[in-house]
């Protein structure tokens, strides 16, 4: 971590309400002796390290009332240098229990969408705008969305994806800070701090409304084209 990164992490900690740090001796890590290691691998390692540092902060976060009811924080997972990020709303029951994003029925549908794009979950990065499960799967409240926003903001800054797909209204509105309607915004390219954003429906909505799957696939074909791939249809 360079000095700019360290400064940013300290600012983030302050924004998240931390007033002091518990400084412990870091675990010994192997020194980088392989001079032939590629710049790509270095970058991957740096992003993974930064994401791990942010996760260590998130998993003990008590910045909003969702910390009282969660089983565990669902931070996000995937390729630290992914070209493509999927950003959803908040963990549900299955995610809260497993600590992983999108692992229930809606998660299986997202996995199927990713496979149809000729990618795997390991190729992309998946996270939510709210890291802790709202009780009874209610919608996240404005104070919770605001409290959690620094995490997804920093995850995007670290990963530097080429494209973000937002899943559902809350993810779109929380990420961009704008009051877009999902039906009118989906399928249209938007911008988030220089990253192209494709809003589409949440997989949970597709479970209730299978007829909307064709709209999501139309949106994903635009994403595939943007990333230089082939949709196959």
Q: Which of 5, 45, 67, 111 binds ligand SF4 (CB under 6 A)?
A: 67
* Sheet containing 77-78: order of strands: 77-78, 125-128, 84-88, 163-167, 195-200, 190-192
User: For ligand SF4, what does the binding mask look like between residues 5 and 44, x meaning CB under 6 A?
Assistant: ----------------------------------------
Out of 82, 107, 128, 131, point to the residue binding ligand SF4 (CB under 6 A). Answer: 131
133 binding ligand SF4? (CB under 6 A): no
Q: Is 124 in the site for ligand SF4 (CB under 6 A)?
A: no
Site string for ligand SF4, 172-211 (x = CB under 6 A): ----------------------------------------
In this complex, which beta carbon is closest to ligand SF4, that of residue 114 or of residue 147? Answer: 147
Closest approach of ligand SF4 to the CB of residue 231, in Å: 35
Using CB under 6 A, count the residues that bind ligand SF4.
14
Nearest residue to 214 (alpha-carbon basis) of 224, 222, 206: 206
Retrieve residue 77's tokens.
Answer: 């997972």
Residue 73 or 87: which CB sits closer to ligand SF4?
Answer: 73
> Do the beta carbons of residue 107 and residue 185 sit within 8 Å?
no
Smaller CB separation from ligand SF4, 66 or 103: 66
Q: Write the DSSP string, 127-180.
A: EESS-SPPGGGPPPPHHHHHHHHHHHHHHHHHH--SEEEEESHHHHHHHH-S--
Binding of ligand SF4 at residue 144 (CB under 6 A)? Answer: yes
Please report how close the Cβ of residue 148 comes to ligand SF4 at its closest, in angstroms: 3
- Token readout for 216 is 């999501």
Cα angle 58-63-64, degrees, rounded to a multiple of 5: 115
66 touches ligand SF4 (CB under 6 A)? yes
Nearest one of 202, 227, 206 to 119, comparing CA atoms: 227
Q: Does 132 bind ligand SF4 (CB under 6 A)?
A: yes
Helix locations, the chain, DSSP H: 3-15, 39-58, 66-69, 93-98, 105-116, 142-159, 169-176, 182-185, 203-208, 213-226
Question: Rounded to the nearest whole angstrom, what is the least distance from the CB of residue 177 to ligand SF4 in the complex?
Answer: 16
Residue 148 or residue 224: which is nearer to ligand SF4 going by CB? 148
Query: Is residue 164 within 8 Å of 50, Cβ to Cβ?
Result: no
Distant-in-sequence, close-in-space partners of 43: CB < 8 Å, separation ≥ 6: 81
Provide the binding-site residues for ligand SF4, judged by CB under 6 A: 58, 61-64, 66-67, 73, 130-132, 144, 147-148
């Amino acid at each position: 971590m360079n000095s700019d990164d360290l400064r940013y992490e300290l600012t983030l900690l302050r924004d998240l309400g931390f007033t002091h740090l518990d400084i412990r001796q870091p675990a010994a890590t192997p020194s980088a002796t392989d001079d032939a290691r590629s710049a790509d691998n270095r970058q991957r390692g740096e992003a993974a390290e930064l994401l791990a540092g942010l996760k260590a902060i998130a998993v003990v976060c008590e910045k909003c009332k969702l910390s009282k009811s969660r089983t565990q924080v669902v931070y996000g997972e995937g390729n630290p240098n992914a070209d493509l990020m999927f950003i959803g709303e908040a963990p549900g029951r299955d995610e809260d229990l497993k600590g992983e994003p999108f692992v229930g029925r809606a998660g299986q549908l997202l996995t199927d969408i990713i496979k149809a794009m000729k990618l795997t979950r390991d190729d992309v990065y998946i996270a939510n705008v709210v890291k802790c499960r709202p009780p009874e799967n209610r919608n996240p409240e404005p104070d919770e969305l605001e409290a959690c926003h620094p995490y997804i903001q920093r995850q995007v800054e670290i990963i530097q994806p080429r494209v973000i797909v937002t899943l559902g209204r809350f993810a779109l509105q929380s990420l961009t800070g704008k009051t877009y309607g999902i039906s009118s915004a989906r399928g249209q390219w938007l911008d988030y701090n220089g990253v192209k954003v494709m809003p589409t429906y949440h997989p949970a909505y597709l479970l209730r409304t299978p007829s909307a799957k064709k709209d999501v696939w139309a949106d994903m074909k635009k994403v595939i084209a943007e990333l230089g791939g082939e949709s196959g249809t």
